[in-house]
């Protein structure tokens, strides 16, 4: 059965479709009812069924693949590699769970995990899942104030951290950030469990509160902690949105629906089967890291490579060598990370044996056509864009190489995945847009398994934030999209990433795509700046590829001409800056809001996730110096 028929069943007969998919995981108690959507927009999947994420990720595989690699934790920062089989993972997770129980953690308790991309972060997540605790992973290195906000919202009984992380060979101590956050919180947890990596020998410890994990683990070597079976709709974890303004939103995920959705996605979307290997370059602190560094691959009986380090260190070939060494079948990364590699010598793509690699998936932001062509042409592999959000938990739009591969259409992530009945509608009227017309991407109810169930302790905010935008009860992605005549979806960026130029609404994404078609351009970000006459004008910030020696003013003028050529005079940039670097997070997303703040002379907000703080300084210097093209600066 192909994609079209299965997708149609998933939206027209959701209970029958998802009852079949429920067989992909272990249920201790079978579901009594597949779907309860009697209180929209809320819904409950696999009602009455009991299961456990940790059991599905580890225990059920032990007899058949106990000696297979489960996790390969590679750190080019510490020059270390840990190869961990399913049996060894089972032992480590049980020991970690025993430590949690000793510290008083139980079912329903929250545990905040503040860790780098290391094996112990995975152990901690799975240990929480094993005993029914609700974990909330916060990206390691996040600013103390924003960590405090998340702690106050989740009210954890325990915080787990590493002594430090590393980035580009530089040690980033975590404990001072933890201490500062806990001084700010209203109800700090009783204990802080510290995984000491030996990176911060001067780390301060608070007596009675701070607990050494390595010492406690030795006490529990060989522990066997029973699995806590959870009803399908109980919370599994919280994952907070950035919270740069106001109270952060704790996206709440369930247990059973999430497990089923991931199990289905592993085979149909990523074409991964038991015993095969995935390299996902995300951090465990992000949604992609949760789903495809940890839970998805392990539920699927696969091997997951966990990477700590830069994509360019010790050289730009590191990811490709990992693909060769571990016979990676599917790679999952972000367009921004690929654009970083695009700035390097293209020969790195052909120096490793990639014969086992079949697919390279990209997500996190739209994959521009020039980056797609560079990656596809350089590797000879199928490059698959896919679209999803922290809220959806797994791809909402993608091609499905594991089921029925439709032709790749560069610039489009493809078609809605199972259970996502999508429409592109007018933001004002809610009317359906015709093919080729831009509108807001929405999802009809009920949301499929795997999506968020609510905002932690704030049902009203859940309804208001996602379902309060139109007269009809629809989930708004808050993303612009276009559907072409063949049904392919094209994502054009956030609905708030819009520039209103003399009454014409222009998506920054469209302008970025135009600039990126110039061969000299490596990366580009576009923001809107105020203009007395036209309201707003586009401001272009771009980096150039290595080896480009042209005068930046000439390249800037070429960018301006290309935008006018492709989008018309109304889209002409007000100014173009050629900079040495663009600010982005460690997960690879461009920080357009920080660039916007520099242009406006306002506070850029939390910058703790900046990959390279000097990049924002480069933008500041460029703005102070004036544009290479245009009159605004």
pLDDT score recorded for residue 492 = 86
Mean pLDDT computed over every residue of the chain:
93
Range list of β-strands (E), 545-618: 575-578
Mean pLDDT lowest among 20-34, 265-279, 361-375: 361-375
Range list of β-strands (E), 245-351: 250-253, 277-280, 303-308, 330-333
- The answer, yes or no, to whether residue 339 has pLDDT greater than 90, is no
pLDDT score recorded for residue 442 = 98
CB neighbour class for 87 (10 Å; exposed up to 12, middle 13-18, buried from 19): middle
| Contact status, residue 223 vs residue 188, Cβ threshold 8 Å | no
pLDDT score recorded for residue 275 = 98
> Rounded to 5 degrees, what angle do the CA atoms 167, 169, 171 make?
65
Range list of β-strands (E), 26-168: 33-36, 44-47, 50-51, 69-75, 80-85, 110-115, 134-139, 158-162, 164-167
Rg of the Cα atoms in the chain: 24
CB neighbour class for 389 (10 Å; exposed up to 12, middle 13-18, buried from 19): middle
pLDDT band of residue 503 (cuts 50, 70, 90) is: low
Mean pLDDT lowest among 79-93, 451-465, 600-614: 600-614
Pairing of strands 69-75, 303-308: parallel
pLDDT band of residue 530 (cuts 50, 70, 90) is: confident
- The answer, yes or no, to whether residue 498 has pLDDT greater than 90, is no
Q: For residue 303, give the nearest of 319, 317, 284, 323 by alpha carbon.
A: 323
Give the 3-state secondary structure of residue 300. Answer: coil
Share of the chain above pLDDT 70, in %: 97
pLDDT score recorded for residue 584 = 86
Taking the alpha carbons at both ends of the chain, their separation in whole angstroms is 57
DSSP bridge pairs for 51:
230
Task: With residue 630 as reference, give the H or E element that holds it.
Answer: strand 629-630
Residues 208, 479: Cα–Cα separation, whole Å: 48
CA 201 to chain centre: 32
Residues 480, 427: Cα–Cα separation, whole Å: 9
Give the 3-state secondary structure of residue 349. Answer: helix
Give the 3-state secondary structure of residue 9. Answer: helix
Residue carrying structure tokens 């790195």: 348
pLDDT band of residue 244 (cuts 50, 70, 90) is: very low
pLDDT band of residue 245 (cuts 50, 70, 90) is: very low
Give the tens place of pLDDT for each residue, 316-331.
Answer: 999 999 999 999 999 9
Domains by residue range for the chain, with CATH? 3-479 (3.40.50.12780), 497-630 (3.30.300.30)
- The answer, yes or no, to whether residue 310 has pLDDT greater than 80, is yes
Residues 290, 253: Cα–Cα separation, whole Å: 11
Taking residues 79-103, what's their average pLDDT? Answer: 98
pLDDT band of residue 243 (cuts 50, 70, 90) is: very low
Task: Give the HSE-up count for residue 523: Cα atoms under 13 Å, Cβ half-sphere.
Answer: 25
Residues 10, 28: Cα–Cα separation, whole Å: 25
Give the tens place of pLDDT for each residue, 580-598.
Answer: 999 988 767 788 888 988 9
Share of the chain above pLDDT 90, in %: 79
Residues 420, 422: Cα–Cα separation, whole Å: 6
Give the tens place of pLDDT for each residue, 31-66.
Answer: 999 999 999 999 999 999 999 999 999 999 999 999
Taking residues 255-281, what's their average pLDDT? Answer: 98
Task: Give the HSE-up count for residue 258: Cα atoms under 13 Å, Cβ half-sphere.
Answer: 36
Residues 349, 331: Cα–Cα separation, whole Å: 14
Dihedral sign for Cα atoms in the order 265, 330, 116, 127: positive
- The answer, yes or no, to whether residue 235 has pLDDT greater than 60, is yes
pLDDT score recorded for residue 290 = 97
Give the tens place of pLDDT for each residue, 4-16.
Answer: 999 999 999 999 9
How many Cβ atoms sit within 10 Å of the Cβ of residue 47? Answer: 16
Give the orientation angle of helix 256-268 with respect to helix 14-21, to 10 degrees: 80
Q: For residue 111, give the nearest of 42, 178, 147, 159 by alpha carbon.
A: 159
Give the tens place of pLDDT for each residue, 429-483.
Answer: 999 999 999 999 999 999 999 999 999 999 999 999 999 999 999 999 989 999 9
- The answer, yes or no, to whether residue 632 has pLDDT greater than 50, is yes
């Amino acid at each position: 059965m192909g994609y079209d028929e299965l997708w149609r069943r998933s939206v027209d007969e959701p209970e029958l479709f998802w009852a079949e998919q429920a067989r992909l995981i272990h249920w201790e108690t079978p579901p009594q009812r597949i779907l309860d959507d009697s209180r929209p927009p809320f819904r409950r999947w696999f009602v009455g069924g009991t299961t456990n994420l940790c059991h599905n990720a580890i225990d059920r595989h032990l007899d058949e693949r106990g000696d297979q690699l489960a996790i390969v934790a590679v750190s080019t920062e510490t020059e270390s590699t840990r190869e961990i089989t399913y049996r060894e993972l089972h032992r480590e997770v049980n020991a970690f769970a025993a430590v949690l129980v000793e510290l008083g953690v139980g079912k329903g308790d929250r545990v905040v995990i503040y860790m780098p991309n290391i094996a112990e972060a995975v152990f901690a997540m799975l240990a929480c899942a094993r005993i029914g605790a609700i974990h909330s992973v916060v990206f390691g290195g996040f600013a103390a104030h924003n960590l405090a906000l998340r702690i106050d919202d989740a009210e954890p009984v325990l915080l787990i951290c590493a002594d430090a992380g590393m980035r580009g060979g530089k040690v980033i101590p975590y404990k001072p950030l933890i201490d500062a956050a806990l001084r700010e919180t209203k109800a700090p947890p009783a204990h802080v469990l510290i995984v000491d990596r030996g990176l911060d020998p001067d780390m301060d410890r608070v007596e009675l509160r701070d607990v050494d994990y390595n010492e406690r683990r030795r006490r529990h070597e060989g522990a066997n902690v029973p699995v806590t079976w959870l009803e399908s709709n109980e919370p599994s974890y919280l994952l907070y949105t950035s919270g740069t303004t106001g109270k952060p939103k704790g996206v709440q995920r369930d247990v059973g629906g999430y497990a089923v959705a991931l199990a289905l996605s592993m085979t149909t979307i990523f074409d991964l089967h038991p015993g095969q290997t995935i390299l996902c370059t995300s951090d465990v602190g992000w949604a992609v890291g949760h789903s495809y560094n940890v839970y998805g691959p392990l539920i699927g009986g696969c091997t997951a490579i966990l990477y700590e380090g830069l994509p360019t260190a010790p050289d730009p070939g590191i990811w490709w060598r990992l693909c060769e060494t571990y016979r990676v079948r599917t790679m999952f990364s972000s367009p921004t990370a690929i654009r970083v590699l695009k700035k390097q010598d293209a020969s790195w793509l052909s120096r490793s044996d990639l014969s086992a690699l079949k697919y390279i998936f990209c997500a996190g932001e739209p994959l521009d056509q020039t980056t797609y062509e560079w990656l596809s042409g350089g590797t000879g592999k199928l490059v698959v864009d896919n679209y999803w959000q922290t809220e959806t938990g797994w791809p909402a739009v993608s091609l499905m190489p594991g089921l029925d591969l439709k032709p790749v259409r560069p610039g489009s992530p493809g078609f809605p995945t199972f259970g996502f009945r999508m429409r592109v509608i007018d933001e004002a009227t809610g009317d359906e847009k015709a093919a080729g017309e831009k509108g807001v991407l929405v999802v009809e109810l009920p949301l499929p398994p795997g999506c968020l169930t609510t905002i932690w302790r704030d049902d009203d905010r859940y309804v208001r934030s996602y379902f309060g935008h139109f007269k009809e009860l629809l989930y708004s992605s808050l993303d612009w999209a276009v559907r072409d005549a063949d049904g392919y979806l094209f994502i054009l960026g956030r609905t708030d990433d819009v520039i209103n130029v003399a009454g014409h609404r222009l998506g920054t994404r469209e302008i970025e795509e135009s600039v990126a078609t110039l061969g000299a351009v490596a990366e580009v970000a576009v923001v809107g700046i105020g203009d007395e006459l036209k309201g707003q004008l586009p401001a272009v910030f771009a980096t150039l590829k290595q080896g480009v020696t042209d005068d930046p003013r000439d390249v800037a003028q070429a960018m301006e001409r290309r935008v006018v050529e492709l989008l018309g005079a109304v889209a002409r940039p007000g100014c173009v800056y050629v900079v040495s670097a663009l600010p982005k997070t460690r997960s690879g997303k461009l920080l357009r809001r920080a660039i916007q703040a520099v242009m406006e002379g306002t506070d850029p907000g939390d910058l703790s996730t900046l990959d390279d703080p000097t990049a924002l300084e480069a933008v500041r210097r460029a703005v102070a110096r004036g544009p290479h093209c245009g009159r605004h600066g």
